[in-house]
Amino acid sequence: MLAETGAGFTSGGAAHLLLKAMRVVYIGLGANLASSAGPPEATLACAAERLGALGRVAARSRLYSTAPVGFADQPRFLNAAVKLETALEPGALLDALMGIEAGFGRDRSGGLKNGPRTLDLDILLIEGEAVDEPGLVVPHPRLAERAFALAPLCEIGAGARDPASGATMTEWLERLFAERPEERGAVVGIESNLW
């Protein structure tokens, strides 16, 4: 996708446009602990606003209350997804997301794997692109197994496709629910005036 990212003027006054390739990226958001912004729904709302500094937030899902995965002895999570149009390279985007997480008190250096957190931002999918580099694999390597990420993603990107298989995100979610029907009850859409 090409999008206008700026305009400039030559010394002669003739305008020229700078066109740059924009990626369409789906970002997963999650939290189950309060941060400096307030409860998890306030944290997710503030984080979604900060994502706007990285490009254009084209859509965002509603919030979902989801059961924890892996480590069950913790509060339920709130999850959502954002569709972001950005000119950032995937590695630079990941660095920016980690910076946003840190701004809300997330410390990735320690803690329990799949444990409680103030904010989690993951690159779930980049339309038409796969990434496999140290520290970053896209689509997210466990996306097809995670209803808490797929349900909000399908709300804003149902037709988005896995670049390897060509399967849509809706197909992935339907397959997951068919294989593990208990997942349907683990992901519940909710309303919040903070979101």
Q: Is 117 a catalytic residue?
A: yes
Which residue among 107, 117, 146, 161 is the active-site one?
117
Which residue among 56, 106, 146, 162 is the active-site one?
106
Q: Is 106 a catalytic residue?
A: yes
Which residue among 122, 132, 161, 180 is the active-site one?
122
Q: How far apart are the first and last CA of the chain?
A: 29
- Whether the CB-CB separation of 172 and 147 falls below 8 Å is answered with no
Q: Is 120 a catalytic residue?
A: yes
- Whether the CB-CB separation of 144 and 125 falls below 8 Å is answered with no
Please return the burial class of 93, using the count of CB atoms within 10 Å of its CB with bins 0-12, 13-18 and 19+: buried
Cis peptide before 139 (omega within 30 of 0): yes
Please give the positions annotated as active site. 106, 117, 120, 122
